[in-house]
Structure 1
Amino acid sequence: MATIVVITGAGAGVGRATATEFARHGCDLALLSRDRDRLETAATELRRFGVRVLPIPTDVADAKAVEAAADQVERELGPMDVWVNVAMATVFAPVSQLAAEEIERGTRVTYLGQVHGIMAALKYMRPRNHGSIVCVGSALGYRSVPLQSVYCGAKFAIRGFVNSLRSELYHDKVAVTLTEVDLPAVNTPQFDWARNKMGHKAQPVPPIFQPEVAARAIHFGAFNPRRQIWVGFPTVKAILANRIAPGLIDRYLAKAGYTGQLTDEPNDPAAPGNLFEPVPGPYGAHGRFDRQARSESMEMFTSRHRDAFWAAVGIGVLLGVHRLAKRLGV
């Protein structure tokens, strides 16, 4: 019998690439996202792999809607084996330009959306003592950057929630696994449709990776559970450098954190973005950065061979921090 996988944020970006990766391996899929048309398009494409696909238009910020989606999966596809939380929403703006409702909405989708997914999955997985939950995190859940306080705050929060839950599952001897996959900059449509108040189009900070890189790591984590999988060397560097010299990184980002996230192309600050409503259009897994994006990374190496790897990385990060300090005159 095929493995049954639920993926949130499956209409585009990393979620869409992840759905394709699981379909390639013969998994039946439930696709959750807000845009009905995009879900139907994705479902049609994925059925070509010979798998069952159930699109369920869902706003993950709505806990009851997520629970109802899980109920529908169990009725129509069968017992779910894997739940993958990918959905996110954000705003590119300094805190001084954010409205409270924007912060709340971004938090409800990016943080509480994962919480709702976890709780809906556990409703069925816990009694069966079986299942795998993968939560998509970010290097920005360890090292915050300017202009992305909404997103960073939510990614920090999910780490805290997952770590608490993991200990509870150990205590109760529940054999449901929790894996956090932390991503680097990824070439997705979010940089075109996220609400942006900066007057210039947003961009991922290079090096940029294709969403298929993230999808492979998520698929690996679903069937080879790890506490964490750090995808790409930029993620490793950001996390370790912040552990060594967070104050120094604060000052560096004050100088470079704005220009690094914005292009020279003008952007309409009044554009609504997808924060409260989905942006219509034929968006897929990729954004507009295909020429710069890499199709490979070291994510599998770092998850399987960490002890030797961290020793080498630690030396490299220390050298990098020393060079940065000299540049800043510290």
Structure 2
Amino acid sequence: MAFLNTVLEPPAYGWTDELGNLSKPTNKQIVKEFFKRLNVFSNKKNWLSFLSWSLVVALVPFLGLFIFKYFSITGLIVAFIYSMIIMGTHGTIWHHRYCTHGAYTFKNKFWRFFTQNLTLKIIPEEIYAVSHHVHHALSDQPGDPYNAQGGFMYCFLADVNHQPIARNMDEATYKKCVNLMKHTGVNTNTYKQYQKWGTLANPTRTIIGIILNWGFWFTAFYLLGGPALACAVFGSAGIWAVGVRTFNYEGHGKGKDMRREGIDHNREDMSINQLWPGYVAGEWHNNHHLYPKSARSGFKPYQFDLAWCYIKMMSMLGAVSSYRDSKADFLKEYCTPVPVAVPAAIQVTEILVAAE
């Protein structure tokens, strides 16, 4: 816990105020911190955050071309499916259930690489996974990198303001941080390289990996449907990249207690189950906070879990060698009818009445 309390680089406005409560910066402070941490000219250790948002900006021209030059109803349907369902589900499968929680294991490196690159690479694994461990350890408490009580902007710009790893770790602490990512296949920096770049990820390898990933998918979609399809897919990926940054604000009740009896069983934090993220991405968030290491989070009959469908299918094909499934535990704990004890005197009375 002490490690997770210090593994992220604190913002200028801090995690807590002078009374130990959540520090709630103004939107002006948040935006100021955002641009400060994107400035690679003042500090090259800002490179990963700068890269992450540069990828979003790089997708804008594709969206513009699709809307103003290649627009069609078919393209719109493709864009919707790719951004809302394929990108969303892949984020749950790869970044969430595998990179962060290790809810399942691959048979070999090929299937890990295959799953990692099923969609466009936009969010670096380091930014997501390390901070998400902190989110679970400090959910809705000061130090939670996307604490919904901090407001919409606090969550929306969290990937830059709150999620990068600390830059002053000693070597032993850095090794602990590396251990959080070693199963993902991400080639991490040596401690000396970390001191130079401030990240687990190496700039050269990261950028080359993204170029190869984007090049492969642009070529594939171009060959399948020409520039119209390529622009529809790439543009919609940009929409997802912006939209996904709003999820944790919504998924934790916008900073309010919006949990419902019989639906949101986890009472340790403000996470809630939502139909839209559940159906399009398998993200039944309250269930996930109950059983974070489960490869399935859609436990009830109506909670369709597309991410689980992929993991289960890959297991049946032999690509996934093991997984955790907490459905049985959930049903036993939260859905088994509780027997009502009937006093013996009432039982005897009922028998006598029935006999008469």
Same fold (TM over 0.5): no
Give the TM-score taking structure 2 as reference length.
0.22
Considering only CA atoms, is the larger Rg found in Structure 1 or Structure 2? 2
The structure that is helix-richer by fraction is: 2
Higher relative contact order (CA 8 A, sep 6+): 2
The structure that is strand-richer by fraction is: 1
